[in-house]
Amino acid sequence: MSEQKSGNIVLPGERLGVIEEFLPDSGTYVKDGIIYSKIVGHALMDLLHKRVSVYPLINGAVVPKVTSTVVGQVGNAQSDNVLVRIFKIGSKKLSGVFTGILHISDVQERYVDSMNDVCKPGDIIRAKVISEKNQIYHLSTNDKNLGVVYAFCSRCGNLLEPKRYEMICTKCGNIEKRKTPVDYGHEEI
Amino acid sequence: MSEKPEKLIDKKGLRLDGRKIDELRPVKIEVGVLSNADGSAYIEHGKNKILAAVFGPREMHPKHLSLPDRMVLRCRYHMAPFSVQERKSPAPSRREVELSKVIREALEPAVFVEYYPRSGIDIFVEVLQADGGTRCASITAAALAIADAGIPMRDLVVACAAGKIDDKVVLDLMDTEDKVGVADVPVAFMPNLNAVTLLQMDGILTPDEFESAVNLAIEGCKKIYALQKEALKTKYMNTKEEVEE
**Separation CA A10–CA A2 (nearest Å):** 14
**Separation CA A116–CA B164 (nearest Å):** 71
Which residues, numbered 125 to 144 in chain A, qualify as contacts with chain B under a Cβ-Cβ cut-off of 8 Å? Answer: 134-135
Which residues, numbered 149 to 188 in chain A, qualify as contacts with chain B under a Cβ-Cβ cut-off of 8 Å? Answer: none
* Second-level CATH architecture of A9-56: Beta Barrel (2.40)
Kindly determine whether residue A13 and residue B191, on different chains, have CB atoms separated by under 8 Å. Answer: yes
Whether the ω angle into residue B26 lies within 30 degrees of 0, i.e. cis, is no
How many residues would you count in chain B? Answer: 245
Kindly determine whether residue B118 and residue A40, on different chains, have CB atoms separated by under 8 Å. Answer: no
pLDDT of residue A188: 87
Measured between beta carbons, the chain A residues lying within 8 angstroms of B233 are 9, 11
Residue type, B87: R
Domain with CATH 2.40.50.100 in chain A: 9-56
pLDDT of residue A7: 85
**Long-range contacts of range B78-85, CB-CB < 8 Å, 24 or more positions apart?**
B78/B124, B78/B125, B78/B126, B78/B127, B79/B127, B79/B130, B79/B134, B80/B126, B80/B127, B80/B128, B80/B129, B82/B128, B82/B129, B83/B127, B83/B128, B83/B129, B83/B130, B84/B130, B85/B1
pLDDT of residue B3: 67
In terms of Cβ atoms closer than 10 Å to its own Cβ (0-12, 13-18, 19+), residue A26 is middle
pLDDT of residue B218: 97
Return the SS3 of A175.
Answer: strand
**Separation CA B31–CA B29 (nearest Å):** 7
pTM, full prediction:
0.93
How many CA atoms lie less than 13 Å away from B28 in the CB half-sphere? 5
How do the pLDDT tens digits run along chain B, 245 residues long?
Answer: 556 787 899 999 999 999 999 999 999 999 999 999 999 999 999 999 999 999 999 999 999 999 999 999 999 999 999 999 999 999 999 999 999 999 999 999 999 999 999 999 999 999 999 999 999 999 999 999 999 999 999 999 999 999 999 999 999 999 999 999 999 999 999 999 999 999 999 999 999 999 999 999 999 999 999 999 999 999 988 766 655 55
pLDDT of residue A1: 46
Determine the distance from the C-alpha atom of residue B78 to the mean position of all C-alpha atoms in its chain, rounded to a whole number: 13
CATH of domain A69-149: 2.40.50.140
Kindly determine whether residue B155 and residue A63, on different chains, have CB atoms separated by under 8 Å. Answer: no
Residue B182 to chain A, least CA–CA distance (Å):
35
- What are the beta bridge partners of residue A37? A28
Which value does ipTM take for this structure?
0.91
Q: Are B50 and B141 in contact (CB under 8 A)?
A: yes
- In angstroms, the Cα distances linking B38 to B15, B56, B117, B156, B198 are 40, 7, 19, 17, 25
Q: Are B29 and B227 in contact (CB under 8 A)?
A: yes
Kindly determine whether residue B192 and residue A97, on different chains, have CB atoms separated by under 8 Å. Answer: no
Measured between beta carbons, the chain A residues lying within 8 angstroms of B153 are 12-13, 38-39
Rounded average pLDDT per 10-residue block, chain A, 189 residues: 78 95 95 96 93 91 95 95 96 94 96 94 97 95 96 95 92 94 91
**Nearest chain A alpha carbon to B32:** A58
Measured between beta carbons, the chain B residues lying within 8 angstroms of A15 are 192
Residue type, B64: H
pLDDT of residue B220: 97
CATH of domain B27-61+70-236: 3.30.230.70
